[in-house]
Structure 1
Amino acid sequence: MTRVHDMGGRFGDGPVVPEAEDAPVFAEDWHARALAVTLACGALGQWNIDTSRHAREKLSPKDYARFSYYEKWIAALADLLVEKGVLTRADLEGKGAAGLHKLAERALKAENVAGVLAKGGPADREGGPPPRFSPGQAVRARIPADNALVDGGHTRLPAYAAGAQGYILRLHGTHVFPDSSAHGLGEAPEPLYAVRFHASALWAHPEHPEDEVVLDLWQSYLEPL
């Protein structure tokens, strides 16, 4: 079943309208605060980036369709904070208990923000299974595109690519496997590839059939041809 966020190439949602080159980074002041709060909560160490992405995917279809970009972020963050036991619904409503939170010592201080953001969160890892594919090799994306470990779980394989033939462009190295990491099943690192697909291999009636789409796909998403 295709989740509401998996929209690539789907008819009926209208064209993608790029922002103007001189558009502000944040359209509204609260957008910057939403980003800041999300990053600050992530620094508490109670979830990883794959978990947070899956939280946004789990929003109800009605909410996902009507929320703006940063409304999705805030709604998913609220869900995560309660799900992980960081806050309660009463806390979010301003009715929680007073006092210092148990995670207060992990709070991201203003003077440390620049260093933390500069460091980032690299997902490349040592070890894992050896690469099965090499540049130029023909491969097919797995069918179905669903998470093979968790029913309805997070995956980075878009539904529109399932079953399509592509070609290995390059090997990125070994990276954390999101289908496992998002659900607390361990990092399970795998080789990650850039895979090149012709638009005509992905969609029946592409506007520009000779266009190419490059997807970063993990090894277990791919089958040899």
Structure 2
Amino acid sequence: METKGMLSGIYRVSEKVMMIAYTNILWILFSLLGFVLIGIMPATAAMFAVMRKLIMEEEEEVPIFNLFWNKYKQEFVKANLYGYLLLLVAAVFFLDVMLFQSLDGWPFTFLSILSAGLSLVFFAVVLYFIPLYVHYDLSFFQYIKTAFLLTFIHPIQTVIMIISGAVIGFILLLLPGSIFFFSGSLYCFIVTKTALKVFAHVEEQKVVIEGESQYGEYSI
């Protein structure tokens, strides 16, 4: 029985790995379909939507291609709009860091460090922004506000997401042949899984507080 259970577990893990690899291939192909410039943003949104489905419905078979294609079409305009707004802000942070590093003097060194820190915070906000985008129906500024709050309210999960990106990047450099299969989807899977746990925790706390507030113990 133990052997059978172990084999079943290995099969499930192998199947999940294959789905993650397949999603990465779709991410690359659909990014190219939009000549990268207008394809990578909706392809990324579609990839996160697929990862969300894989995580939330582990026992069910997920129609990856249909889900990816439908999300790609559905989010094409909005994902490009939101994506390039975020990219513009990221470019400003990057230029600030480069500018301050090129100038001499301790004030500019301080400003360079400050800009780099703010860039890291912004990166963390984006990591929450995308799972929020595929999980909830909010306005752009609500996504930003919620992502910013989650970045600081759940610092451990935030650090996990950032560090896991560095670790995966290092592994991909060591195994360049795996880039085609895991360059985006593996990190997407980890970020989505971490973010969904955060969302579930926040929703659970909200239900508890709202329930208790009915009896006068809390007010929100």
When normalised by structure 2's length, the TM-score is 0.27
Higher strand share: 1
Higher helix share: 2
Q: Which has the higher contact order (CA 8 A, sep 6+)?
A: 2
